[in-house]
Chains A and B, each alone.
Chain A
């Protein structure tokens, strides 16, 4: 795969014109994975046989005259989505030997669209984390600087797309897990409205905020993948009862009339000064391109991280209760009672962060504390959602940084869970309110002889994927940061 053809849209044109076959694209990706994955640790599983068979089938469909956005396009999926006949581990020892018997809805929709599944990507165990260092199978490295994290929890997916191992990857975003790695790896990361994409076949973390979305190089590519995976599903009662949506965002051509909210408090505080300067410049160029910039206050959003770290541990402590070591995972044989057997399997099967969150959630839901923690957090969550509802009466989208800084060094925050949780400072509000949000490449800073990317985020009202795609696409056209690739 040469550097000239690296977006889905470019591959689409080449496939449709017969300049390249899906098998050729797939072989090129497989060769690149073979060469680079030993360094990056982005992929936990590569299904060469399955991928080549799917590519051959896509080529047949193409030859028969069929067309489709993703027909014949090779991709990778985060290893927390069920993939029939393939190991699905959630990067946890407790699921080390688990083979999914069926496909997640997102995976089966991509299969129907003719996309080619190459394999599965690394993540923080059960998607708990912001660096992919919590994987039981070793951390993923950032292609922009191998001494740094790719972000997380969809870090394997982000590193894979950034290093050209695939044309797009699926990630999941519960409190920022698509957007933050997109920011650290110079990618577009789209978290859809809650309920836009079926969660059937996704190993549940926080059922009330879990979403599935794409990591791509461009906004157009993200819209193509979202269109393929979105839609109501009778197997997920929370999916939105809307007909299939096409995301006509005008290619981001015109910004006139678009009202973009900015929150002054978000552009100070812990935000890296270099990022602030660059983002302020970007806001100016949006204004010159015709957008109306409106200053906003989101007073209750300052509580989004503490609320998130009550709601999320509470829900996941319940969701992970099903993993008891019976049926799959490493069973501890020496335990002499059923209780001791469960405790041993879970105590040794889960990694440190999964156990930390299970403990925190168990506490927040326990007798005597549920009112002060869980119920209080749910009440503040509604105030956060109300903040956004008020704001979207005045603006169409809200622009924020994605992360307060570029990618940090491996190991820099792993022993400070609270510092890691604060990675979500700009991200968890949209998750708690169920809103769509997109991170788009926002610029670069030089640090320790590396060039490091960072992202900006556009948040939209519920169901407002079209608005955030439009704003992000306009930003992309002004800045073209996506064209820069890691030297790898």
Chain B
């Protein structure tokens, strides 16, 4: 498959990646080459049996379990904090 710069920009937007014009051009070339190679899969004949969903959900009870307070404190110690709250960039 051939990717245009617009295609690549669209994928980058979906992936939340800021790319430079040079990166857009390079990924366009590389993804075209890689997907052309991958396209050999289209020739594989899939019967209904192999396409049948072999995957199922596995459930367990949603139980609260306690976690080490010391390890929780270690995790929080790395964040930018103000009072008892985590400080993040303005979102609105």
Contact surface of A with B, Cβ cutoff 8 Å: 84-85, 97-99, 101-102, 237, 300, 303, 306-307, 309-310, 317, 321, 324, 326-328, 331, 338-344, 346-348, 350, 352, 355-356, 358-360, 362-363, 366, 372-373, 376-377, 379-380, 382-383, 386, 417-418, 421
Contact = CB atoms under 8 A, between A and B. Distances in A.
Interface in B28-62: 30-31, 33-35, 37-38, 40-42, 44, 46, 50-51, 54, 58, 60
A233 B37 CA distance: 39
A376 B41 contact: yes
A383 B11 contact: no
A84 B68 CA distance: 12
B56 to A, nearest CB: 13
Contacts of B37: 306, 309, 418
14 contacts: A84-B74, A102-B68, A300-B44, A303-B44, A307-B41, A324-B16, A327-B78, A327-B86, A343-B18, A359-B11, A360-B34, A363-B11, A377-B38, A379-B51
Contact of B91 (A331, A338, A359, A380): A338
Looking at chain A's contact residues, the main secondary structure is: helix
Contacts of A97: 78
A418 B11 contact: no
Interface in B72-88: 72, 74-75, 78-79, 86, 88
A366 B14 contact: yes
A377 B41 contact: yes
B64 interface: no
Contacts of A379: 44, 46, 50-51
A345 to B, nearest CB: 9
Looking at chain B's contact residues, the main secondary structure is: helix
Contacts of B14: 362, 366
A317 B14 CA distance: 11
Contact of B19 (A340, A347, A373): A347
A373 B44 CA distance: 12
A362 B11 contact: yes
Contacts of B72: 101
B41 A417 contact: no
A101 B51 contact: no
A475 B85 CA distance: 59
Nearest to A338: B91
A307 B51 CA distance: 15
Nearest to A302: B40
Contacts of A85: 74
A167 B91 CA distance: 49
Given A306-B41, A326-B88, A355-B19, A383 B30 contact: no
Which of B23, B31, B35 has its CB near the most chain A CB atoms (within 10 A)? B35
Given A383-B44, A417-B34, 7 more contacts: A102-B68, A309-B34, A343-B17, A362-B11, A362-B14, A379-B44, A417-B30
Contacts of B35: 360, 363, 373
